[in-house]
Structure 1
């Protein structure tokens, strides 16, 4: 009886140790930089590939190497979570403007790999079979091995590929499909900077100075592009309510000037921090608008009496400088949206406001003409 009990305890311990070992083994990733790449039909020598664990949270592993004079080979390994996996190459670490290789294997379906140009955040700006990557014909493949996806491709480039590398994981069950292969929004992503020589990568934080950039845009948009416009409409069409129109006009123009002045200061600080070299025209227009705004404030302080013989010259100057300021301000707001790659939402939103103000101005002009 004692022997039987000891045998039972021994078997019980052995069984639990085996179970625990199985659990630990299951928790270990099935692929790592120390394991052999389980692919046999690659068109390049896999033994030359360097390896980097690029996204530990999602267990993404990137193998790469310069396998020919002008050819770089890549293999991205990731768990098969019934979603697409993607790798993108960017000039500034941001998704917008980058080119990406995206691969997926639907359940019971055939694997697909496509290149996409990420021109914006909306689906119509993510264009399939477009991008700045020169991919070797027939090199894009995706395989599923031991519950992992292996996305492989080759790039033709005379220099080193872009070091700003993005990785994305799609939503479960959401795959692009023919005929348009529209790419759905990713579930999560990460932006990294990869050193191709040392295989060391670091995570790139969110877009630097994004809050300052947004503040700069909003202040100028509301200041020069909305308040100043509304103030000019008040001065032109509401003079029957004297002197309330003057107080409203002054309040709106002062608010617009102060907002715009703060926005220009934010823009100068932003340029100094980012060392941007493509904003000279935008900056020049902004300073011109600010100078014209200062001249308008000075003109208000030097406004002659209604009975003065100089009043009509003052009116001509004040009205026409104001019109030129408004035109330049609206144009520069749209130009700033373009430079900041803010997307169609900003263009559409401000365009709608400008359209409404324009229709109101036209309606008031027609009303004024009919009254005459």
Structure 2
């Protein structure tokens, strides 16, 4: 009896193991979605008020598990279904003419605490919630077709609109986890990406948010390096290394010249950004002020009088204090820009370390200069 009892126990254990593997496989197939399988979409297709069987499918945002399906009817109606993991936040797909999020129209969806799905169109007029009002935008949505379905840990955002052709860029976004929408205004996304789509072939470029994101990075890097880093270094070279003549002069104008070019490029890039974050106007005003000071310094250099001239002392006074004012404004503007861009605190800390080193070095060199003068 014992061998038979042991064999029976092993059989039950094996059966339970096979049943567990089968259930796990079914759960995984239901919780995931792919363009090669229609099982997941078929489970929710009965809840979507338009046909989904012949839609073109592509992997929209691989890192976030976004999948887009779309198609066009003979009447010029476009059908879209965005499939994404349910992360307790809203998901959205926007339509942009140039790849920029600001100025585009988007459809966003999320689930409430009761499991009810909500889907609305938004006009993305800026990056603040007040700039993204609900039920506005350029998409001519077909009434009764916009909805969100939650199924097996995934969200299915479905909608239809009429248009000769959708915009060439799609913008994908994921909201912050657990964030509640105030009056249905769209809060700032946690992550986003942009991709160009060829609707005739169903081929999309890799999503990477290259448009507005890269412009902001370029603006911050060039302006910060030019005005906030090279300019202070150039001032230190002119102040503390004059005994190394003519090295100090050529080093000074070289560093300041490169800083001016980079800083100007950063200001120009900043003019192309559409940002209505709190403090953006002050940031722009400071940037223009710094650029004006820089241009005045360039003109002063070109009109520099001879050392023996009677007005040279006044020129020196003007040149020194306008330059120092520009650097002071630049330092404040770097921190303000990092705050507006919501950059990691590590960048502010890194720039703070640079300033601390620069201040300590300047104090040491100033003491040595003072002792040499005595």
Q: TM-score, normalised by structure 1?
A: 0.60
Question: Tell me, which stretches of 5 or more residues in structure 2 are unaligned?
Answer: 233-249, 274-289, 342-374
Aligned residues of 1:175 and 1:183 also touching (Cα < 8 A):
no
Match of 1:196 in 2: 199
Asked if 1:261 corresponds to 2:257, the answer is yes
Match of 2:69 in 1: 63
Match of 1:181 in 2: 184
Change (3 A) 1:52 1:215: closer
Q: Report how far residue 123 of structure 1 moved.
A: 3.1
Compute the RMSD of aligned alpha carbons. Answer: 5.1
Match of 1:230 in 2: none
Match of 2:27 in 1: 26
Asked if 1:124 corresponds to 2:130, the answer is yes
Aligned residues of 1:86 and 1:168 also touching (Cα < 8 A):
yes
Aligned counterparts of 2:17 and 2:115: Cα–Cα separation in 1: 39
Quick check: 14-23 or 29-38, which moved more? 29-38
Change (3 A) 1:302 1:219: farther
Aligned residues of 2:175 and 2:190 also touching (Cα < 8 A):
yes
Q: How many pairs does the alignment contain? A: 300
Asked if 1:46 corresponds to 2:52, the answer is yes
Aligned counterparts of 2:6 and 2:115: Cα–Cα separation in 1: 53
Change (3 A) 1:59 1:299: closer
| Residues 146-169 of structure 1 deviation map (CA, whole Å, 9 limit, x = unaligned) | 443221112332234323x22222
Match of 1:301 in 2: 305
Aligned counterparts of 1:209 and 1:142: Cα–Cα separation in 2: 33
Q: Report how far residue 130 of structure 1 moved.
A: 3.4
Asked if 1:172 corresponds to 2:186, the answer is no
Aligned counterparts of 2:69 and 2:291: Cα–Cα separation in 1: 49
Aligned residues of 2:222 and 2:265 also touching (Cα < 8 A):
no
| Residues 222-267 of structure 1 deviation map (CA, whole Å, 9 limit, x = unaligned) | 69x99xxxxxxxxxxxxxxxxxxxxxxxxxxx99987763345337
Q: TM-score, normalised by structure 2?
A: 0.60
Change (3 A) 1:171 1:294: closer
Question: Tell me, which stretches of 5 or more residues in structure 1 are unaligned?
Answer: 227-253, 280-285, 324-328, 347-372
Alignment of 1:223-372 (within 5 A): 261-266=257-262, 293-302=297-306, 305-306=309-310, 345=340
Alignment of 1:62-141 (within 5 A): 62-108=68-114, 110-141=116-147
Q: Report how far residue 136 of structure 1 moved.
A: 3.1
Change (3 A) 1:25 1:139: closer
| Residues 194-233 of structure 1 deviation map (CA, whole Å, 9 limit, x = unaligned) | 332333332226544654422333466669x99xxxxxxx
| Residues 281-328 of structure 1 deviation map (CA, whole Å, 9 limit, x = unaligned) | xxxxx999877644311322347743xxxx69x989x99xx99xxxxx
Aligned residues of 1:118 and 1:126 also touching (Cα < 8 A):
yes
Aligned residues of 1:102 and 1:115 also touching (Cα < 8 A):
yes
Change (3 A) 1:129 1:21: same
Quick check: 194-203 or 288-297, which moved more? 288-297
